[in-house]
Amino acid sequence: MKLYIKIALFAVSFVAISAILAALYMFNLKHTDMSKAKPDFIVSATDLQKEFELNETAASARYINKILEVTGTITSITHADSNYLNISLKTGSDISNVICTFPAVGDLSMLKTGEEITLRGQCSGFLMDVLLNNCAKVTKRNKE
Amino acid sequence: MKRLFLFLFFLNIVFASNAQKFMTKNGYLSFFSHTPLEDIKGENNQAAGVLDISSGEMVFQALIKSFHFDKALMEEHFNENYMESDKFPKASFKGKITNLPDVNFSKKGTYDVTVEGDLTIHDVTNKVNVKGTILIDDTGIKANSKFNIVPEDFKIIIPGVVRDKINKDLEIAVNMKYEPLATK
C-alpha cells in the first residue's frame, strides 16, 4: 500500500473516531455543577421574589435560565419521594417564597429551618413562588 | 356593631372554607418513556396543587422548565424542540374527583378515585379522565396517579427518526402530599 493511502486512511479513521467520541460526550454530558459555576446574578431571596411579583415579564426575561446566587433564610425543607430536596426561602411575602430544588440530599441533611443559606441554581421562572433548579449550596470556599 | 357582626360572619366563612382546602408547592410530576437505547425520564418537584375536599376540585400547575433530566442535552431538547418552554412555560390541570362520596377524608385509608378535567400542555387543552388514589394517613392527604398521554394530542411534534424509537404514549406520574391551606 502506498504511503499516502495509509496516511489518508489513518486521517479518515481518526476523524471518524473523534466525531463518535465527541457525539457520545455531548450526549452524556451532565448538568453544570452549580457549586463551581459562575453566577450571572447575586441576589437576596426577598429582592428576587419582589422583582417577580412587581413585574413578572421583566423579571422572567432577566432571570430565566440564568444562574443565580441567592441568600435567604430557610422556611421549610421538604424531602421528595425521589432523591430530591426542596428548600423554601423566606421573602417579604407571606404566600410566595423562593423554592429551590437540590438534585441530591448529600450534606444538606444538616440544614434546619431558620438558618441562613447561600445557594446557586438555575431559575425556571415564577409560578406562585420563584423556582430554582439544579441547586447547590455555596460554602465560603467556593463563594464568588 | 352591625358591621362588626357582618365582618365576623364573613371571617368565619373564609376560615371555614379554607379548612376544606389543602395545598402543596412541592408536588412531584414525572414523565417516562422507554426506548431501546435508554430510558427518558423527566422529574419536576415544584408542582403547585390545591385540593378542595368539599367539592372534590383539583388544580395543578407546573413550570415546564422545572422538569429535570439526568442528561443536560436531553433537558435542552425537551425544552427547546418539543415543549417550546419559552413560548409555553406552564402546564396545568383543572378538574374534579367524580366519585367524591367514596372518599372519607376523616378516616385513614386508601381510596380509589377517578378524576376528570382539562389538561393543558404546550398550550393545547384536552379532556382527560384518569384513575388515581387518595391516601389519608397521619401526615395528611396524598394523591397519586399514573396515566398515559400521547404527545401528538398536545401538538408536540417528534421527528420521525426519533418517533419510531419511542412508545406512542408517555407515562405521567403524579405524587402530591397536601398540607392544610394556612389561614392567615
For B110-169, the pLDDT digits (tens) are 999 999 999 999 999 999 999 999 999 988 899 999 999 999 999 998 888 778 777 888
Query: Is A82's Cβ below 8 Å from some Cβ in B?
Result: yes
Q: Smallest Cα–Cα separation from A67: which of A92, A43, A97?
A: A43
Query: Is A25's Cβ below 8 Å from some Cβ in B?
Result: no
Q: Smallest Cα–Cα separation from A32: which of A122, A142, A141, A130?
A: A122
Under an 8 Å CB criterion, which residues of B touch A? 25-26, 28, 30, 43, 45-46, 48, 61-63, 65-66, 68, 70-73, 75, 89-90, 175, 184
- CATH hierarchy code of domain A41-137: 2.40.50.140
Strand A130-137 and strand A116-126: pairing? antiparallel
**Residue A100: closest CA among chain B residues belongs to which residue?**
B46
**List of chain B residues whose C-beta atoms are within 8 Å of the C-beta of residue A128:** 25, 48, 61
ipTM over 0.90: no
Question: Does B63 contact A81 at a Cβ distance shorter than 8 Å?
Answer: no
3-class state of residue A132 by DSSP: strand
CA gap A115, A132 in Å, rounded: 19
Written as nine digits, the cell of A97 is 417564597
pLDDT in tens, B39-79: 889 999 999 999 999 999 999 999 999 999 989 998 999 99
Question: Does A26 contact B45 at a Cβ distance shorter than 8 Å?
Answer: no
